[in-house]
Chains A and B, each alone.
Chain A
Amino acid sequence: MKNNKSIACFGLGCGVVLLAVACPALAWAAGAPDAGGPWWLWPLALFLVCFVLGVIAVPAGIGGGVLFVPIVSGFFPFHLDFVRGAGLLVALSGALAAGPALLRAGLADLRLALPLTLLASAGAIVGALVGLTLPVAAVEVALGITILCIAVIMWRAKKSEYPDVARPDPLGAALRMSGIYRDQALGREIEWRVHRTPLGLALFAGIGVLAGVFGLGAGWANVPVLNLVMGVPLKLAAGTSGFILSIVDSSAAWVYINQGALLAVIAVPSVIGMMLGALIGARLLGAIRASVIRRLVIVILFLAGARALMKGLGWWA
């Protein structure tokens, strides 16, 4: 068992090294994009990097989109428009793959999700339009700051497994945002209800804008808002967040599709690599310590955020 863990950690370490080295090495091997390097090297490198991102995203408890955009925009020659479009598709594919199972298991709640999704989807369209209009340098600076904030949130944010909601707020009660789900680990049914619904709705509108501007899946923000602000139990918050992404990311993705910002040669290898990596990541879940991977991801986010920020400020070409 200990040996298995060592092998898993070693494999994961190799993957991270590959992630750190692959982009610059391939960049060197292929030369500058205009210098006529073989075109296929970039989609291949993208597939490999996304595979590694998929492996580490599952144990870290995040969607791959939040790692995808800062890393690919920082180290690949693609314009940020195409990276954000592909990032949305990566997040959308993951959410669509998981959504049906979450709904069936009762770990995502349709009634809880719909009002929040409406505000977040409208915000995502506005965000996508704004993001595609702003100068690239401004988006990179904002992206760098956002990614650094996400790293801080992941590092510092508390979680509440079963928040205590003494009394639902009037809007949450009127919309009957409450229910009972079965916690398989505990083997019993958990009753839940929400409070601070107006604040939750406002925050989801803002999260939608961020998802649209940066092409990030927004699970990193959805879960804390559902759990800590609205008082949804952690497992239900995580599942409902995944389901919400399946609608919110599609509304932003339509804007990117219609503006020609989704290139199959960039998006498809990313989706396939991330999904295959996630399959391996799910298998490693029992063999590795999730807290170690989570710390690793926080470090990667700090580096990628700093890189995006410096690139946007012109300090790192």
Chain B
Amino acid sequence: MIGISPEQLRYARLLEYGARSGLVALIAGFAAYMGGVLPVQVPLDVLPRLWSLPAGDFVRESGIAAGWGWLQLLGKADLLALVGIVLLAGASLPCLILLVPIYVARKDWPYLGITLALIGVLALAASGLFGVL
């Protein structure tokens, strides 16, 4: 195969949008957090006591639900700052979904299977099923 495949170029374009929007949201959310624009779930001066705890203890003490429970607290600046992180973690998923119709049209069944399996793995990781151990 000579050159760069069209699906690779389309994947790159969509990944770029996802990465950029994630980084913008990350910085904007953190600026709002540090600027004291919104109330916070965990006061900043309490953090040094909590950030030395294991994640499970932190979740219990801070009153933030594991998994996707933090979405209920989006009005709090420290949880709003997580939106950028979530966008970055999710940036690859739409790019992989974009590949599905391309591989179907090309009848490239092995790569269709690999792509669907990869989407499944990422969706499982993101689902929150692993949120509570």
Chain A contacts to B: CB under 8 angstroms? 33-34, 36-37, 39-40, 42, 77-79, 81-82, 85, 89, 92-93, 96-97, 99-101, 103-104, 106, 109-111, 114-115, 117-118, 121-122, 125, 128-129, 132-133, 136, 174-176, 178-180, 189, 246-247, 250-268, 271-272
Chain A residues with CB under 8 Å of B130's CB are 125, 128-129, 254-255, 258-259
A34 touches B81 (CB 8 A): no
A110 touches B11 (CB 8 A): yes
With the chains together, A259 CA to B67 CA distance in Å?
6
The 8 A CB mask of B92-106 against A (1 = contact, 0 = none) is 100010000000000
Chain A residues with CB under 8 Å of B26's CB are 268, 271
Which residue of B is nearest A96, CB measured?
Answer: B19
B19 touches A267 (CB 8 A): no
Chain B contacts to A: CB under 8 angstroms? 1-5, 7-9, 11-13, 15-16, 18-19, 22-23, 26-27, 29-30, 33, 44-45, 47-49, 51-56, 58-59, 62, 64, 66-68, 70, 78, 81-82, 84-86, 88-92, 96, 110-111, 114-115, 117-118, 121-122, 124-126, 128, 130-131, 133
Given A81-B54, A253-B88, A258-B68: 13 more A-B contacts, CB < 8 Å:
A34-B52, A37-B48, A39-B44, A81-B55, A89-B88, A92-B88, A104-B9, A111-B1, A175-B110, A250-B91, A259-B66, A262-B82, A265-B51
Q: How far is the CB of B67 from chain A (nearest CB, A)?
A: 5
Contact of B2 among A111, A180, A254 (CB under 8 A): A180
Chain A residues with CB under 8 Å of B121's CB are 118, 121-122, 125, 251
B51 touches A78 (CB 8 A): yes
